[in-house]
Structures are given as structure tokens and as C-alpha cells.
């Protein structure tokens, strides 16, 4: 099968064509269907996990040597959780028509080693297989047990060992509350006793992201909701009892975002109240103005096409760096900023990828 080469170089923000000659001999080989939207989790020692949720491929890489340390594909990856303090990563995957919980080592010396594999009950697998349901696993805490949350079209359900039936469930009234024609389950995440479920609501060819917050410590209490403006894409993470929300606008006319009010590019909301603790807002010059936002390593990377600039902020919105875009012939994916270096995955017009380390001056 044809492969694309992923290499590491050191540069001063130049187009990919300009620094290709400086690439090292070490490289990573990715399938031809690799795409720039691969999700990234940073590990200690300049290592990272790349997760392709669309193609169900996961890979651990060394960012300094460009070497692949471990890789694997599954029939589907439902969720992944990196436990930095214990050097472990826990996957929930569909593998050979069974739902498996796989624990891998992320320690430098044993990267990718399978520490344990648990096949979960077939009844749980059958409840989620092939129906668009989303899953998330969470580790036990001082106040909660190990659990798996299932997000289906109509319900949120919490499972605990022995995983045969739900111990809690609720029915978010997303579709009825916001008068959507459809409310599609998109993503679910858990932290402590909080569950956050993302839905994509649609009506009259328009779409809106809704985040439903369920406090399982008070399972019968009414859940709280956070919505984004219509027709912008959104992603989220949970950190320190906050919902971290970051958005992207790439639709343009005729169904793009409206220009009559500011939009949240990056925001944090308190899970207990669903109230914002910080919001970074932007106003569009016109509907064709586009931006993309990534959040990784407690940092925000904003590509603002309306201003033709790239911005890097810390999690509190303090600007670390900005620079004018140098090329429209590349697309980039933020990895992290550390020790004065900006790490990116860059794609050129020929669908070739490079891992770039750029000093910020």
C-alpha cells in the first residue's frame, strides 16, 4: 500500500516545500488516508500519541527522532484515556466483534506493551455496536468507581463492574428543548462524577453544537446545557472540573456563521454551574472569514484567516506568540509549545506530512 512520509525538521516558519530538503532519514510511514485532523495527546520525554478516530488507527511516536514506537488499528476506537501519572493508556475498542478494554504502557522503556485486556459483556457490546452510540471510560477516583458511559440517541447510561446493566441513566431532552429536527450523539466524556455529552442539533439545513452536563452525584437533578452559535464546529475537553471548548468556522457562505455578534473561539465553563470562567471572542468581518482552533498541552493555537495570522495562547488566554501566515499551500495541526519550540504537523498540497519543530523568536 502506498505510504506518505512523516519527517521531523527544524525551521523558521517556512512553507513545506522550502524545508523538505532538510528532513532527516528517520521517518514515520502513514497510510495514504492519514489526515490532518488526527487527535494528539502529549506524553513526557517528547513523545506523543496520535489517534485517528475516523480510521481507527492509533500510534505512539517520538517527536525528536520521528520514530514510530508502537501502532495498531482496530475495528473501532470508542475512547482513549492517557493516565500520565501511572504511565498507562486505556482504550475501549471494537475488536473482532467484541468490546475490549485494553491497557497499554506509555512508559519510555515499554511503550505500547499490552498490560491487560478485558473483554466486556456481549450485552454491552450489542447495545452500542453499529448504532452510532458513543462511549467513554473513566478511572476510579476517591468518590467514584470505574465506569463506562454510553451516549445513545435517546439516553445517557452509566455502567460499572460487572458491566452487565446500567446503574444510572437519564434522558437529555435536547431535541425537544431546542426544537431540532435531529440531535445526533457526537461525543461523550467524563470526569469524576460529571458526564458531558456533545450533540449536533440540526434544523432547516443549519446545525448547532449542544453540550449536556449531567452530575451523576445528583442523577435525578436536571442537567445543564451549553450551546455554541449556529453553524460553527466545536470540540471539547474536561480539565479540573471545567469544560474546555474550542471552535472552528470553515463553512463559509451560504450556510456559514452569522456576522452580527461575537463568537467564542475558546472558552472554559465551570461544570457545576455551566457558567463561563473565561471566553475568547471574535467577530467575523464576513461569512467567508474562517478560523481553526486547537487546544493541546494546556495551550490554544488559533489560525485566523480573516487576519491572516497565527496565534498561540496559554490556557488563561495570555498571548504567547503571533505571526503572519506565510503560506496558503500548507495546513497545520498544533502539537505543543515547549522549551521555546512550537511542534506542528504540517500538510502540503501533495498530501505529504512533516512534523515541524519551530523556534519562536
Provide the CATH number for the domain around residue 52. Answer: 2.40.10.480
What's the pLDDT at 215? 96
What's the pLDDT at 33? 64
pLDDT digits (tens, 9 = 90+) for 248-288: 986 655 666 666 778 899 999 999 999 999 999 987 766 66
Q: Which of the pair, 315 or 35, is modelled with greater confidence? A: 315
pLDDT category, 296, cuts 50, 70, 90? very high
What's the pLDDT at 143? 85
| In a domain? residue 323 | no
What's the pLDDT at 261? 75
What's the pLDDT at 11? 40
pLDDT digits (tens, 9 = 90+) for 129-187: 888 899 999 999 888 899 999 999 889 999 999 999 999 999 998 977 888 998 999 99
The candidate with the shortest Cα–Cα distance to 211, out of 276, 299, 125, 255, is: 276
What's the pLDDT at 326? 67
| 300 vs 319: CA distance, rounded Å | 9
Assess whether pLDDT exceeds 50 at residue 18.
no
**Section 6-15 average pLDDT:** 40
| In a domain? residue 47 | yes
The tally of CA atoms less than 13 A away on the side-chain side of residue 97 is 0
Average pLDDT, the chain: 85
| In a domain? residue 39 | yes
| In a domain? residue 163 | no
What's the pLDDT at 66? 74
| 104 vs 102: CA distance, rounded Å | 6
pLDDT category, 10, cuts 50, 70, 90? very low
State the residue range of the domain holding 73. 29-119
pLDDT category, 26, cuts 50, 70, 90? very low
The neighbour count for residue 74, using CB atoms within 10 Å, is: 18
Assess whether pLDDT exceeds 80 at residue 8.
no
What's the pLDDT at 285? 67
Q: Which of the pair, 273 or 308, is modelled with greater confidence? A: 273
Instruction: Specify which residues 261 forms β-bridges with.
Output: none
| In a domain? residue 1 | no
328 burial (CB, 10 Å; 0-12 / 13-18 / 19+) is: exposed
| In a domain? residue 43 | yes
Assess whether pLDDT exceeds 90 at residue 295.
yes
Report the domain count for the chain. 1
| 111 vs 99: CA distance, rounded Å | 23
| In a domain? residue 61 | yes
Cis preceding-peptide flag for 254 (omega within 30 of 0): yes
| In a domain? residue 237 | no
Asked if 120 contacts 112 with a C-beta cutoff of 8 angstroms, the reply is no
| 161 vs 357: CA distance, rounded Å | 44
Is the CA virtual torsion 346, 352, 355, 360 positive or negative?
Answer: negative
Assess whether pLDDT exceeds 70 at residue 4.
no
Lookup result for grid cell 446545557: 225
**Section 86-94 average pLDDT:** 96
Residues 6 or more apart whose Cβ sits within 8 Å of residue 180: 174, 201, 202, 203, 208
The candidate with the shortest Cα–Cα distance to 312, out of 328, 335, 288, 290, is: 335
Instruction: Specify which residues 269 forms β-bridges with.
Output: 243, 276
Assess whether pLDDT exceeds 60 at residue 28.
no
Assess whether pLDDT exceeds 50 at residue 14.
no
pLDDT category, 9, cuts 50, 70, 90? very low
Amino acid at each position: 500500500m502506498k505510504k506518505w512520509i512523516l519527517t521531523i525538521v527544524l525551521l523558521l516558519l517556512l512553507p513545506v516545500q522550502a524545508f523538505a530538503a532538510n528532513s532527516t532519514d528517520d521517518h514515520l510511514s502513514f497510510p495514504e488516508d492519514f489526515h490532518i485532523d488526527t487527535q494528539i495527546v502529549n506524553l513526557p520525554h517528547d513523545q506523543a500519541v496520535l489517534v485517528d478516530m475516523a480510521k481507527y488507527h492509533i500510534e505512539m511516536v517520538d517527536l525528536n527522532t520521528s520514530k514510530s514506537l508502537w501502532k495498531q488499528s482496530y475495528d473501532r476506537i470508542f475512547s482513549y484515556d492517557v493516565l500520565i501519572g501511572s504511565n498507562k493508556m486505556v482504550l475501549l475498542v471494537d475488536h473482532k466483534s467484541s468490546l475490549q478494554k485494553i491497557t497499554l504502557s506509555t512508559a519510555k522503556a515499554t511503550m505500547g506493551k499490552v498490560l491487560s485486556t478485558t473483554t466486556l459483556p456481549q450485552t454491552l457490546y450489542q447495545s452500542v455496536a453499529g448504532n452510532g452510540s458513543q462511549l467513554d471510560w473513566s478511572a476510579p477516583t476517591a468518590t467514584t468507581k470505574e465506569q463506562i458511559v454510553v451516549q445513545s440517541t435517546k439516553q445517557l447510561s452509566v455502567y460499572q463492574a460487572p458491566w452487565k446493566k446500567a446503574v444510572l441513566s437519564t434522558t437529555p431532552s435536547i431535541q425537544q428543548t431546542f426544537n431540532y429536527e435531529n440531535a445526533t450523539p457526537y461525543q461523550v466524556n467524563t470526569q469524576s462524577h460529571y458526564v458531558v455529552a456533545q450533540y449536533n442539533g440540526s434544523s432547516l439545513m443549519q446545525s448547532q453544537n449542544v453540550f449536556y452536563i449531567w452530575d451523576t452525584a445528583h442523577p435525578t437533578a436536571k442537567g445543564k446545557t451549553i450551546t455554541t452559535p449556529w453553524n460553527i464546529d466545536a470540540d471539547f475537553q474536561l480539565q479540573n472540573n471545567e469544560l474546555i471548548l474550542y471552535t472552528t468556522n470553515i463553512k463559509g457562505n451560504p450556510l456559514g456563521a452569522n456576522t452580527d455578534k461575537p463568537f467564542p473561539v475558546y472558552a472554559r465553563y465551570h461544570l457545576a454551574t455551566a457558567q463561563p470562567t473565561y471566553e475568547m471572542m471574535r467577530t467575523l468581518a464576513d461569512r467567508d472569514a474562517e478560523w481553526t482552533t486547537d487546544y493541546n498541552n494546556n495551550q490554544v493555537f488559533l489560525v485566523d484567516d480573516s487576519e491572516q495570522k497565527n496565534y498561540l495562547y496559554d490556557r488563561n488566554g495570555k498571548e504567547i506568540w503571533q505571526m503572519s501566515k506565510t503560506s496558503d499551500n500548507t495546513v497545520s495541526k498544533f502539537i505543543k509549545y515547549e522549551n521555546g519550540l512550537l511542534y506542528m504537523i504540517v500538510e502540503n498540497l501533495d498530501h505529504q506530512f512533516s512534523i515541524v519543530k519551530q523556534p519562536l523568536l
